[in-house]
């Protein structure tokens, strides 16, 4: 009977959203295009009213059909209604951030002190209460910030609600399951009109209502796993996409000396567009991140959660590196110099750039993870009480030796995001010294047990893979972004010259934010190169083949990468061939110029 509420809420949403859209136009509640917004045409902004109405009506109909709503947390419902009204008022009158924060704290107080919902992570109640406040307000505003591109916030919220529904179904939490189904159905109907190109936005009434309700539901779930780690890890993984986006926006705006609460086109979604994806591709990427996070949360709830301690960090490391990479994308132009920063912004700059805080924290995870997986592998993909004891006693030593060796070998002297072949030798040397130093230090200092040599062999292997993989990750993404940008260019050209100058020309073009044209093949007079690949471009042949290929392919020109290899007679022949087919010839010429006086 409960499943009926899902199609019921969907049908109600499909009916209400067009009505709300008409009302939005009539009342002037329409978002006009602005420089700090993504949409390019006037769009209604009261979609949240339709979602809330569909959810509320579905719950009322279900109560009439079922006779009661047993197991409901009515305080949660009341607080969610209040958060919806707060967002609706903000849609009409634009409340100041302090006023909204005070109201959000008030509704969170209802949840904590009257609804009986707190995160039980610390042994001290006051810290649990503060953590719950931070969670409820943080996720509410994270969903609000994520509502920056068509279909993103609604889809991510629906995925989170679906995973929560699975948790409630497995624990027989009927009232919470009904609420989750009502949310899923109302969001699904809304997404029909919000998917790119959007015909309506959810507004603050929708984002605050969804964010607060889902955050409350996440901490209302009954724990299945008997481990403290999953108390916070499961909700965090379910809301991984908005958490990463909020972290990225907050840090990058603080670095620019801006308020994290102001609007802008500097979110992870906008940076993915700068990466080379279109709007719909960005939507699906965010959905995949949400699905991975939710699936990881479910793995943490499994009975054998030790396996999840291997899978979840891998996902977190990869997505954190992706978020850090997107943070480099130049989507905001600022003239403010780092040396001009003051106060907290200067502190953040010092920590993140000069003191290499990101690298140090990343290596904390990499060393710990590689060391744990080394023991996990040594003991047959399982952690016994004995192996866990060895791991816990020796883990601090591995961390200490790892940081000392990394510093002495020069791992932290490299420019982050640049990776060269010589770095592999440096990382291999560092890993060998860390492994040998950790093992010898432990057997000399701690004589309480014999540490397994096999675990340290696996530790060395995993640490080397993690160290080189994390440092090469940005290079891989740079290549992918370059290929994506080039493939998006319609005007095609041929390159002439597959030597060092040709490589330099290709690299230069790949680095351009907006390449002027796209190379599709290379020509060279060296017959030994014909038929081979030149950075994914085929070397077709020499000048004789160029005439034939210009008849087949629609290209606009030929780029000569090294003019020093072409004599006058050959140049005349090349020009005659290009003139015959109406294509231009350009010469790549890199030279030094004096600074203007």
Phi, psi of 495 (to 5 degrees): -95, 140
Nearest residue to 574 (alpha-carbon basis) of 565, 585, 561: 585
Q: What is the pLDDT of residue 40?
A: 63
Would you give the DSSP letter of residue 198? P
Q: Are 260 and 254 in contact (CB under 8 A)?
A: yes
Residue 437 CA, chain-centre distance (Å), reads: 36
Beta bridge partners of 435: none
**Ranges for all domains in the chain classified under CATH 3.40.50.720:** 489-587
**63 contact partners, CB below 8 Å, separation of at least 6:** 69
Q: What is the pLDDT of residue 36?
A: 52
Rounded Cα distance between 140 and 152, Å, is 15
Q: Are 314 and 466 in contact (CB under 8 A)?
A: no
CATH code of the domain occupying 489-587: 3.40.50.720
Beta bridge partners of 587: 560
Edge-to-edge strand list for the sheet holding 537-541: 533-534, 537-541, 518-523, 492-496, 557-560, 584-587
Nearest residue to 56 (alpha-carbon basis) of 107, 87, 16: 16
**How many alpha carbons lie under 13 Å from residue 263 in its C-beta half-sphere?**
10
b/e sequence 346-384, b meaning 16+ C-beta within 10 Å: eebbeebeeebebbeebbeebbbbbbbbbbbbbbeeebe
DSSP string for residues in 338-402:
GGG--HHHHHHHIIIIIS-HHHHHHHHHHHHHHHHHHHHHHTTS---HHHHHHHHHHHHHHHHHH
Residue located via tokens 């493939």? 487
Rounded Cα distance between 103 and 86, Å, is 8
What is the SS3 assignment for 64?
A: helix
Nearest residue to 521 (alpha-carbon basis) of 499, 501, 546: 546
Q: Are 231 and 119 in contact (CB under 8 A)?
A: yes
Mean pLDDT by 10 residues, the chain (597 residues): 88 95 87 62 89 94 72 85 95 90 95 89 88 94 90 94 92 89 96 91 94 93 58 83 88 72 76 81 92 86 66 81 76 49 50 61 90 90 80 90 92 78 91 94 78 92 93 84 80 90 84 85 90 88 88 87 83 90 86 78
Q: What is the pLDDT of residue 351?
A: 47
Q: Are 470 and 529 in contact (CB under 8 A)?
A: no
Q: Are 459 and 402 in contact (CB under 8 A)?
A: no
Q: Quick one: three-class SS letters along 65-91?
A: HHCCCCCCCHHHHHHHHHHHHHHHHHH
Rounded Cα distance between 98 and 190, Å, is 30
Q: What is the pLDDT of residue 230?
A: 66
CA-derived radius of gyration, the chain:
29
- Long-range (24+ apart) CB contacts under 8 A made by 365-368 are 365/313, 365/316, 365/317, 366/317, 366/463, 366/466, 366/467, 366/470, 367/398, 367/399, 367/402, 367/403, 367/434, 367/463, 368/395, 368/399
Residues, the chain: 597
């Amino acid at each position: 009977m409960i499943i009926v509420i899902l199609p019921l809420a969907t049908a109600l949403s499909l009916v209400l959203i067009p009505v709300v859209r008409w009302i939005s136009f009539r009342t002037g509640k329409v978002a006009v295009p602005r420089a700090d917004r993504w949409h390019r045409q006037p769009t209604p902004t009261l979609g949240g009213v339709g979602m809330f109405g569909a959810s509320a009506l579905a719950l009322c109909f279900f109560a009439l059909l079922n006779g009661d709503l047993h197991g409901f947390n009515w305080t949660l419902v009341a607080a969610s209604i209040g958060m919806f009204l707060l967002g609706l008022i903000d849609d009409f009158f634009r409340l100041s951030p302090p006023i909204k924060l005070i109201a959000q704290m008030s509704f969170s107080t209802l949840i904590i002190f009257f609804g009986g919902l707190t995160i039980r992570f610390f042994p001290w109640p006051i810290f649990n209460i503060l953590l719950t406040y931070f969670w409820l307000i943080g996720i509410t505003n994270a969903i609000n910030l994520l509502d920056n591109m068509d279909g993103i916030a609604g889809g991510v919220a629906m995925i989170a609600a679906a995973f929560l529904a699975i948790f409630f179904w497995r624990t027989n939490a009927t009232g919470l399951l009904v609420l989750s189904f009502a949310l899923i159905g109302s969001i699904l109907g809304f997404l029909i009109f919000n998917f790119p190109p959007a015909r309506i936005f959810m507004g603050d009434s929708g984002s605050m209502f969804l964010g607060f309700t889902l955050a409350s539901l996440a901490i209302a779930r009954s724990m299945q796993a008997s481990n403290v780690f999953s108390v916070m890890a499961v909700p965090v993984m379910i809301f991984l996409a908005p958490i990463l986006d909020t972290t990225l926006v907050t840090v990058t705006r603080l670095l620019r000396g801006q308020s994290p609460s102001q609007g802008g086109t500097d979110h992870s979604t906008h940076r993915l567009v700068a990466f080379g994806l279109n709007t719909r591709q960005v939507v699906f990427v965010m959905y995949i991140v949400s699905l991975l996070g939710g699936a990881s949360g479910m793995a943490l709830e499994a009975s054998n959660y030790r396996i999840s301690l291997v899978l979840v960090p891998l996902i977190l490391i990869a997505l954190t590196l992706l978020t850090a990479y997107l943070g480099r994308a130049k989507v905001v132009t600022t003239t403010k110099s780092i040396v001009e920063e003051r106060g907290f912004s200067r502190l953040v700059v010092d920590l993140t750039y000069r003191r290499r805080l990101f690298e140090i924290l990343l290596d904390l995870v990499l060393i710990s993870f590689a060391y744990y997986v080394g023991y996990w592998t040594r003991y047959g993909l399982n952690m016994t009480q004995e192996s866990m004891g060895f791991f816990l006693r020796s883990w601090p030593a591995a961390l200490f030796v790892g940081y000392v060796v990394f510093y002495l070998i020069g791992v932290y002297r490299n420019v982050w995001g640049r990776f060269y072949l010589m770095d592999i030798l440096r990382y291999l040397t560092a890993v060998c010294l860390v492994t040998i130093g950790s093992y010898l230090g432990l057997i000399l200092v701690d004589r309480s047990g014999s540490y397994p040599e096999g675990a340290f062999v696996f530790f060395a292997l995993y640490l080397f893979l993690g160290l080189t993989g994390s440092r090469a990750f940005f290079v891989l993404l740079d290549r992918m972004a370059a290929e994506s940008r080039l493939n998006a260019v319609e005007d095609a050209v041929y390159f002439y010259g597959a030597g060092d100058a040709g490589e330099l020309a290709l690299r230069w073009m790949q680095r351009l934010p907006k390449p002027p044209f796209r190379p599709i093949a290379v020509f060279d007079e060296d017959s030994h190169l014909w038929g081979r690949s030149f950075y994914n471009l085929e070397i077709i042949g020499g000048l004789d083949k160029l005439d034939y290929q210009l008849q087949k392919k629609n290209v606009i020109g030929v780029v000569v990468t090294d003019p020093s290899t072409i004599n006058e007679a050959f140049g005349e022949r090349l020009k005659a061939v290009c003139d015959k087919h109406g294509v231009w010839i350009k010469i790549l010429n890199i030279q030094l110029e004096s600074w203007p006086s």
